């Protein structure tokens, strides 16, 4: 957190907290969190629901809160093109 700009630190009721919520929504969509948000599982049989819950439990046990962040871009990828008139 010390490397984030003060605006981006996710403190309660801050701009950073709202930005973090948006990031989480993109990274982990609702249909991956609960069967009720997954349209393909509405009306599914017990075997499909059990398979989804097993996926969710495994994902939560193995992947949640595990990360190693490194810089991916060492320089700007933006190219400035000359404007033609």
Q: For residues 46 and 64, is the Cβ–Cβ distance under 8 A?
A: no
Express each pLDDT in 50-77 by its tens digit.
Answer: 888 898 888 888 876 666 677 776 666 6
Cβ contact 16:4 at 8 Å: yes
Higher-pLDDT residue of 14 and 75 is 14
pTM > 0.85: yes or no: no
Minimal CA–CA distance to 40: which of 52, 29, 28? 52
- The answer to whether the beta carbons of residues 31 and 41 sit under 8 Å apart is no
- Alpha carbons 79 and 85: distance in angstroms, whole number: 19
Average pLDDT in the 24-28 region?
A: 80
Q: How far apart are CA 63 and CA 37, in angstroms?
A: 20
Instruction: Indicate the average pLDDT of the chain.
Output: 79
- Are 7 and 16 contacting, i.e. CB atoms less than 8 angstroms apart? yes
């Amino acid at each position: 957190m010390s490397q984030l700009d003060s605006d981006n630190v996710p403190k309660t009721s801050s701009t950073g907290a709202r930005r973090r919520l948006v990031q989480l929504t993109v990274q982990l969509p609702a249909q991956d969190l609960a069967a009720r948000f997954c349209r393909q599982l509405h009306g599914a049989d017990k075997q499909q629901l059990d398979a989804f819950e097993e996926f969710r439990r495994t994902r939560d046990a193995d992947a949640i809160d595990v990360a190693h962040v490194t810089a991916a871009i060492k320089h700007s990828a933006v190219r400035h093109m000359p404007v033609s008139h």
